[in-house]
Amino acid sequence: MSTNKNLSPVEKIKAESDALRGTLKQSLHDDITGALREDDQSVIKFHGMYQQDDRDRREERSAKKLEWLYSYMVRLRLPGGFLTPEQWVGLHHIAGEHSTGVFKITTRQTIQLHGILKSHIKPTLQAFNTIHLDSIAACGDVNRNVVCGAHPKQSPVHEEVFAYADKLSKLALPKTKAYYEVWLNEKPLIDKKEEEDPLYQERYLPRKFKIALAIPPHNDVDVFTNDLGLIAIVEKGKLIGFNIAVGGGLGATHGNASTYPRLGSILGFVRGEENTLKAAYEVITIQRDHGNRSDRKLSRLKYTVDRMGVEAFKAELEKRCGFALEEAKPFEFNHRPDYYGWHQNHEKKWYYTVFSENGRILDDEQVAMKTALLEVAKTGKANFRFTCNQNVIISDIDPKDKKAIEAILEQFGIIAHTDKAGLVRKAAIACVAFNTCPLALAEAQRYLPTLIGKIEPLMEKHKIADDQISIRMTGCPNGCGRPYAAEIGFVGTAYGQYNMHLGGDRDGMRLNKKYKESLDESAILRELDSLFEAYSQKRKKGETFGDFAVREQWVSA
Ligand code: SRM
Ligand code: SF4
């Protein structure tokens, strides 16, 4: 067991929270402030929400001696990222009524709504409930949204893996009824035994926990960046089990060398559903019992794995499972971005992957994406699936309905918008950052589109425009846009400045390394101009930019 002598303050808040009820009811009734009581700001995360403020308006508010403009971000729990058309229509109206109206598709296959005022939280969650959606455990020190290969029903295995996402999500759902009491006005439990939680107990996990399921050869989920990565192994067209990888995670802190991004270590292969679920459960219990509860910067599973050692971790897992893992099976990833445009699945149904830059679904001067998707949803003839690349797939379209859906996509310019975007833009990811993220040091989703507009001409100049180099940007080193798993990663250090990382591979199997520190835009473009020139002139046939960067020793392997 871990020796957590000095528990972090959050540990006390969790343990004393009355199974995550905290004083949320009192906080909500306090009309004097738009904020919650301090402890409740931690508790509310377990209900899928964060207290934020509009950072663009901090100065103006302070000058007027007003408190910051507090509002809440709500993140849906959506294992596998699936919505029915009815849910889409419902969500459209909820977003319009209670939030900024923008659907933000996250890098974990779900939706966030921002800008919800305190008095609107309850109506928002109640409205979610009417369309069978909730935000339980979408944040907090628990298992988060379980993600899986998004491309719908490419094969029967895709369906099975999608079902696993749901099973894993249910397996690791906290047992507390607090969400139903606080937000949905359900009567308090008389017998608290009903919510006893053998997995999380009263202390929950030391930190957030993330699970992804990938289906080779597509690594759209970036499986190795998760605490627990499950890689589907298929033999003769049948899913036989999963390779298990543990200890992936990307968050780091500038100037704190004991924090680092890490890719998951493959422990072995586990066969069949019962053993897979058991192994996943026990990975979580090991983290619960051995994770660091003193220093939240060092509390993710990756540090537990490194502290215990991979072999000792595996031995502990086998002991808790009561069975041995088999040797890992061979697999190969060869693609990470989404497959845009029209495709047909194994049931002959059509699906269309829409390019939604950095996951922002709204109507703007370029394209009326939100209206278009509402119109598609209103037909009732398509489902929706989100991808970890921050896009949306319009899915399960019967061949007889394809024309009607296509006409809507044409009418609102979605097809032109998706076709027109360049390859690099379509593979890029940026996190939210300003104006809502309290941790942002620099812009990301509001800036990367502009920067890519300046990188594309450089790629054309060096005749590498048909090369889908992966470029990712985050506003701070926490890594929400997975920049350390990109060929070129930009990590914000201060407003307008980014560390530049190079040398990741294209498919998410190797992390990049820091190449230059705190570059502004002109320095970034100067660097890329000369790096692209060298790449264009000296690359071997088929060599990717990330591999070339390592071969040239711009960074070490
Ligand atoms: Fe994240 C914290 C946004 C995926 C690592 N992340 C945050 C917060 C909640 C800031 C905060 O703590 O107050 C950000 C809210 C911004 C906002 O205004 O919405 C935030 N993270 C996001 C999203 C929305 C980025 C996006 O543009 O899509 C992603 C939501 C995913 C979801 O639906 O659950 C998001 N975050 C990630 C990922 C990528 C992934 O999981 O595939 C990572 C890196 C992988 C990992 O977990 O290591 C990630 N977020 C972090 C961290 C660093 C954790 C660590 O181990 O150090 C933080 C900070 C923290 O937890 O203290 C963080
Ligand atoms: Fe915020 Fe940093 Fe995450 Fe970007 S990477 S959303 S700036 S915490």
pLDDT at position 190 is: 86
Q: Write down the domain spans for the chain.
A: 1-6+142-336, 49-135+340-420, 425-551
**Does any ligand 2 atom lie closer than 6 A to the CB of residue 250?**
no
Please, which residues have CB within 8 angstroms of residue 223's CB and are 6 or more apart in sequence?
Answer: 212, 213, 214, 229, 230, 231, 245, 248, 264, 508
Instruction: Say how many Å lie between the CA of residue 479 and the centre of ligand 2.
Output: 7
pLDDT 10s digits, 179-212: 999 999 999 988 888 999 999 999 999 999 999 9
DSSP-assigned letters across all residues of 149-207: --STTSSHHHHHHHHHHHHHHHHT-----HHHHHTT-PPPPS-GGGG--TTTTTT--SS
Q: Given pLDDT bands bounded at 50, 70 and 90, which one contains residue 154?
A: confident
From the CA of 138, give the closest atom in ligand 1: 34
Q: For the domain bounded by 425-551, which CATH number is listed?
A: 3.30.413.10
Nearest alpha carbon, ligand 2 atom 2? 476
pLDDT 10s digits, 484-539: 999 999 999 999 999 999 999 999 999 999 999 999 999 999 999 999 999 999 99
pLDDT at position 4 is: 60
Summarize the confidence of residues 455-479 as an average pLDDT.
98
Please say whether the beta carbons of 48 and 139 come within 8 A.
Answer: yes
pLDDT at position 279 is: 98
Please say whether the beta carbons of 142 and 207 come within 8 A.
Answer: no
Q: Given pLDDT bands bounded at 50, 70 and 90, which one contains residue 476?
A: very high
Cis peptide, bond prior to residue 217, ω within 30 of zero: yes
Q: List the one residue out of 261, 246, 241 whose CA is nearest residue 311.
A: 246
Summarize the confidence of residues 122-137 as an average pLDDT.
98
Residue 333 above 70 pLDDT? yes
Any idea which of 3-17, 229-243, 300-314, 375-389 has the lowest mean pLDDT? 3-17
Check for a shared fold between 1-6+142-336 and 425-551: yes
Q: Provide, rounded to the nearest whole percent, the portion of the chain with pLDDT above 70.
A: 99
**Does any ligand 2 atom lie closer than 6 A to the CB of residue 476?**
yes
pLDDT at position 191 is: 87
pLDDT 10s digits, 95-121: 999 999 999 999 999 999 999 999 999
Residue 1 above 80 pLDDT? no
From the CA of 259, give the closest atom in ligand 1: 57
From the CA of 475, give the closest atom in ligand 2: 7
Cis peptide, bond prior to residue 358, ω within 30 of zero: no
- Which bound ligand lies closest to the C-alpha atom of 433? 2
Structure tokens at 278: 């058991």
**Does any ligand 2 atom lie closer than 6 A to the CB of residue 205?**
no
pLDDT at position 556 is: 82
Catalytic (active-site) positions: 75, 144, 208, 210, 431, 437, 476, 480
Summarize the confidence of residues 442-460 as an average pLDDT.
98
Summarize the confidence of residues 421-446 as an average pLDDT.
98
pLDDT at position 192 is: 86
Helices H / strands E in the chain, number of each: 18, 20
Residue 43 above 80 pLDDT? yes
Residue 384 above 90 pLDDT? yes
**Does any ligand 2 atom lie closer than 6 A to the CB of residue 431?**
yes
* Best residue among 45, 50, 437 to mutate for probing ligand 2, ranked by most atoms within 8 Å of CB: 437
Instruction: Say how many Å lie between the CA of residue 479 and the centre of ligand 1.
Output: 7
pLDDT at position 155 is: 87
pLDDT at position 465 is: 96
Q: Given pLDDT bands bounded at 50, 70 and 90, which one contains residue 52?
A: very high
Residues 105, 509, 281: CA angle, nearest 5 degrees: 70
Residue 557 above 80 pLDDT? no
* Best residue among 145, 295, 478 to mutate for probing ligand 1, ranked by most atoms within 8 Å of CB: 478
Its CATH class, for the domain covering 49-135+340-420, is alpha beta
From the CA of 437, give the closest atom in ligand 2: 1
Average pLDDT value over all residues in the chain: 96
Pocket of ligand 1 (CB under 6 A): 50, 52, 73, 75, 106-108, 110, 112, 144-145, 208, 210, 222, 225, 249-251, 300, 359, 431-432, 436-439, 478-482
Residue 94 above 70 pLDDT? yes
pLDDT at position 251 is: 97
Domain 1-6+142-336 CATH assignment equals 3.30.413.10? yes
Instruction: Say how many Å lie between the CA of residue 141 and the centre of ligand 1.
Output: 13
What is the side-by-side order of every strand in the sheet holding 211-214? Answer: 147-148, 211-214, 228-235, 238-246, 265-271
Instruction: Say how many Å lie between the CA of residue 505 and the centre of ligand 1.
Output: 22
Any idea which of 58-72, 106-120, 435-449 has the lowest mean pLDDT? 58-72
